[in-house]
Structure 1
Amino acid sequence: LDPVTADDCERTSRAAFDVLGLRDIARADVIVDDDGVPWVLEVNVSPGMTETSLVPMAAEAAGLGLAALCERVLAAALARGSSTLD
């Protein structure tokens, strides 16, 4: 995708994430029509988290390994509640 279309897809995905009241992690499946308009097909609130799944691959592309991604998700969840790992 060209940079403008990629930015539009990210903005559309983030808007879906916000409208649905999601937090921490999700995966949006997006299609771009012939006019270059991105459309969200679905949002997966429990995306695959194996080393060959799309979310960890995207994290790797952004310079964040699978372990670091999991640590960030866990830290965000712990920050919201009173639970601890002890």
Structure 2
Amino acid sequence: MALFLAPFVVYAFYLYFSHRDPLAREAWETRATWWLTAVGLVLLIGSILLVSAFRGATPDRTYVPPRFEDGRVVPGHFE
């Protein structure tokens, strides 16, 4: 969620430092919000793809689901 909101925060700082009111509705023009939304979605989807590509187990490993042992939950893991 932070990656999606990051462009909006950067734009708010830009408005503030350019001596425009970041809380004013007219400062958030429609064209700017469309671009901010697009950039936020690209950052979010890109991060999800990168995490899924470089994290996890190799294809030759087997996933063991969580289970109860002696009244405690043993988390799932790869073997």
Same fold by TM-score greater than 0.5 = no
Instruction: Report the TM-score, using the length of structure 2 for normalisation.
Output: 0.32
Query: Which has the larger share of helix?
Result: 2
Structure 1 or 2, whichever has the larger Rg, is: 2
Q: Which has the higher contact order (CA 8 A, sep 6+)?
A: 2
Instruction: Report the TM-score, using the length of structure 1 for normalisation.
Output: 0.30
